[in-house]
Structure 1
Amino acid sequence: MLSQTIKSYAPYFLLGFLIFFLHFSPLAWHELLQYSRPAIGQGEVWRVLTGHLLHSNAYHLLMNMVGLLLIMLIHGHLPGRLAFGWQLLILGLGTSAGLWWLAPDMLYYVGLSGVLHGILCYGAVIDIKQGFRTGYLILAGVLVKILSEQFSAPDLALAAQINADVAIDAHLFGASVGCLLGLVLLSRTPRQ
């Protein structure tokens, strides 16, 4: 039982460790890894994934690590319909694709929040499939949050704390990809 619990949560801790390591890495690494529309346009495509692993400052990092911890506690027990690494890859690519095609004014981006929204929504869809009503509550909460972000003025206080504009579109794209990923996987799951 304990080994299964450790196995379920290990990917979250590994991701957290990698993000902390990169946060304290040399500034040149940050410049090489952040999502940068001009650099991606010149062929530096790794940035569509690595930008999600960087943060603008320690407060931004702390917020995303608390989010990762909460999601781990909520969804870390889910059976492996899709390995966590594949979730990160698909959600990172999906969020970045949304930024690239639907938010062309966003030239630079760092942060895990779009991917976190995606993991939360993916897990909620899986919860619903397994008969847990909490999945509906999670999806409703994420929907209310995203709608309020999309239709209200930018949160200037939060932007000042993280020393960057809040990437509300990344939240929208990540949550959308997470829901779609959950629905695609569920449509392929045989009925019992």
Structure 2
Amino acid sequence: MKDQIWIRKVILIAVCISISACLQVFSDHFIYWKPSLLDEFWRLWTAHWVHVGWMHFLLNMLAFACLPFIFPHVLNRHLCALLLILPPFISLIFYFYLPYIDAYAGLSGVLHGLYTAVSLVYLQYPKERKFAILVLVLVAAKLLWENTFGQAGTAKLIGSPVLTEAHLIGAIGGVLSGLGYLSINGKGRAQAS
């Protein structure tokens, strides 16, 4: 049974990385492009799966691939739900509240949301609670650092400016998603008892 769960996780990761790589080839048609966003609605999701270059792609896919293995209780269906919810959340916040953002590409905002949401849910597991707290503290410290001192090193590595607003919005979306899950899950447990 455990082997099947791991195989499913590997398959999910491989499918996501493959889709992202395919979108990367025609990235101009899939990035967040504000003038076209509401007419080409797929950009709400695809913008987060294309990258400014292959190094950017590699770094984000590596961070994505690690998540299900450092949080082994996370289920594929929960990851898929987050992958459907977080990208349009971030894109619509850009569109309506950050009008100066005309273009965006990258998974890093979604990654911040994924790690935050999963860490919040992991607080309910006593054996993993300390690790979940550590991840939440590290995400908060990273957000504080990059909103205070910037991301010059990462920008140089990927060859493009880093949009730290995406990280913050993604983390906020992760907090909302994680708390929403815990609330729904708690109500379901209460009704079952």
- Length-normalised TM-score, structure 2: 0.88
Equivalent residue number for residue 57 of structure 2 = 61
8 Å contact from structure 1 (residues 128, 135) kept in 2:
yes
Q: Distance in 1 between matches of 2:143 and 2:29?
A: 30
Structure 2 runs not aligned, ≥5 long: none
CA drift at 1:72? 2.6
CA drift at 1:178? 0.9
C-alpha distance 150-36 of structure 1, shift in aligned 2 (>3 A): same
| Mapping of residues 18-167 of structure 1, within 5 Å | 18-23=19-24, 25=25, 29-41=26-38, 43-79=39-75, 82-131=77-126, 132-133=128-129, 134-152=131-149, 154-167=150-163
Deviations 1:62-104 (A, max 9, x none): 1111111221321254246x53222101011111122223322
1:171 aligned to 2:172? no
8 Å contact from structure 2 (residues 90, 173) kept in 1:
yes
Identity of aligned residues (%): 28
What amino acid is the match of 2:13?
A: Y
Q: Distance in 2 between matches of 1:79 and 1:61?
A: 24
* Segment of structure 1 superposing worse, 91-100 or 173-182: 91-100
Aligned alpha-carbon RMSD (Å): 1.8
Structure 1 runs not aligned, ≥5 long: none
Q: Distance in 2 between matches of 1:114 and 1:11?
A: 19
Aligned length: 185
8 Å contact from structure 1 (residues 118, 177) kept in 2:
yes
Q: Distance in 1 between matches of 2:10 and 2:178?
A: 20
Deviations 1:140-184 (A, max 9, x none): 1100100111122x3234223322210111011111111110101
8 Å contact from structure 2 (residues 68, 74) kept in 1:
no
